[in-house]
């Protein structure tokens, strides 16, 4: 349901410009962040009939260096709304826009596929800070719901951010230009281990599309490694659901560039 993350990478570049233009603070102060949560549930009506609910739980930076805070909030606004056009919007405005957008989707879908009293449309959208240390920040954005059709849906998107520059960290930033070949092998090997098989063929027999298992810039940072997420249909049929796989920094170490933002997390 969410757009390509390339739009979010463009958003990060724009947000980072704000920091570069206005901030000369030392790097040591940059990860001193506090967060605030906006939480709302909105019930959508068509005429007088309730057709669905929207629940949004939006965690965002609320305390930091003034110019860093401006850039980070701009980035979070774009990430939670999945729209780089929302850079510069306040968190409150983004929340209101999400409610308005989903309300419109529900009403349009209900005009030709009305929900029953037993099945109501719904969407839940929330983000979670999963890492905040050493000048690095990582968050997970999860959206799920049912707005008509054969079944509901879930999207999981991870983001890693260099808090010094307020830029997304992508595979090429830590594993170089040949990251796809290098990281693909690690992901495949770990997925085989996680699923209790020893060959790609055995993993394919479980329903996975081996050729689709590759780095997708959908990951979060953790204390001990990177966790990749693959959404429904991305590497297999709907029945497999979403998949996640954690690659340890120890395994990644041979491929991580010395000047990478995450090289500090690797014990070489």
pTM equals 0.84
Q: Taken in order 106, 87, 129, 167, is the CA torsion positive or negative?
A: positive
User: Mean pLDDT across the stretch 187-200?
Assistant: 96
Q: What is the spatial distance between Cα 114 and Cα 42, in angstroms, rounded to a whole number?
A: 18
Q: What is the spatial distance between Cα 16 and Cα 170, in angstroms, rounded to a whole number?
A: 15
* b/e code 74-83 from CB counts within 10 Å (16+ = b): bbbbbbbbbb
Cα 180 to its chain centre, rounded Å, is: 20
User: Mean pLDDT across the stretch 166-192?
Assistant: 89
Confidence of residue 177 (pLDDT cuts 50, 70, 90): confident
Q: Identify the residue with better confidence: 225 or 28.
A: 225
pLDDT for 190 equals 96
User: What CATH number was assigned to the domain covering residues 6-168?
Assistant: 3.30.565.40
User: Mean pLDDT across the stretch 186-201?
Assistant: 96
pLDDT for 221 equals 95
pLDDT at 29 over 90: no
- CA–CA distance from 258 to each of 176, 225, 253 (Å)? 10, 16, 10
Confidence of residue 56 (pLDDT cuts 50, 70, 90): very high
User: Mean pLDDT across the stretch 51-62?
Assistant: 93
Residues 242-251 pLDDT 10s: 999 999 999 9
pLDDT for 148 equals 81
User: Mean pLDDT across the stretch 58-71?
Assistant: 82
pLDDT for 9 equals 52
Report the range of poorest mean pLDDT among 26-35, 65-74, 83-92, 240-249. Answer: 26-35
pLDDT at 28 over 50: no
Element (H, E) at 226: strand 225-230
Quick one: tokens of 148?
């008509």
Residues 118-173 pLDDT 10s: 678 999 999 999 999 988 999 999 999 998 877 888 999 999 999 888 889 998 88
Domain ranges of the chain: 6-168, 171-265
Alpha helices in 82-225 (DSSP H): 91-110, 171-175, 179-194, 200-205
pLDDT at 230 over 50: yes
pLDDT for 246 equals 97
Q: Rounding to the nearest 10 degrees, give the CA dihedral for residues 243, 249, 255, 256.
A: 110
What CATH homologous superfamily does 171-265 map to? Heat-shock cognate protein, ATPase (3.90.640.20)
């Amino acid at each position: 349901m969410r757009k390509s993350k390339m739009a979010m990478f463009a958003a990060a570049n724009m947000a980072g410009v704000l920091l570069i233009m206005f901030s000369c603070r030392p790097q040591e102060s940059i990860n001193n962040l506090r967060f605030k949560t906006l939480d709302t549930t909105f019930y959508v009506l068509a005429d007088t009939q309730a057709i669905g609910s929207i629940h949004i739980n939006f965690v965002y930076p609320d305390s930091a260096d003034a110019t860093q805070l401006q850039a980070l909030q701009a980035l979070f606004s774009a990430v939670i709304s999945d729209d780089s056009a929302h850079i510069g919007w306040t968190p409150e405005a983004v929340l209101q826009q999400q409610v308005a957008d989903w309300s419109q989707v529900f009403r349009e879908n209900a005009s030709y596929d009305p929900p029953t009293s037993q099945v109501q449309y719904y969407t839940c959208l929330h983000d979670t800070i999963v890492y905040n240390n050493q000048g690095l920040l990582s968050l997970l954005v999860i959206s799920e719901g049912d707005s008509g059709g054969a079944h509901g849906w879930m999207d999981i998107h991870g983001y890693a951010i260099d808090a010094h520059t307020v830029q997304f960290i992508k595979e090429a930033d830590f594993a170089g230009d040949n990251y796809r070949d290098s990281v693909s092998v690690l992901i495949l090997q770990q997925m085989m281990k996680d699923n209790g098989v020893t060959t790609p063929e055995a993993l394919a027999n479980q329903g996975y599309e081996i050729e689709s298992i590759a780095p997708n810039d959908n990951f979060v940072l953790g204390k001990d490694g990177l966790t990749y997420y693959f959404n429904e249909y991305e590497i297999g049929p709907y029945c497999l659901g979403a998949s996640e796989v954690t690659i340890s920094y120890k395994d990644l170490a041979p491929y991580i560039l010395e000047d990478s933002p995450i090289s500090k997390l690797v014990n070489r």
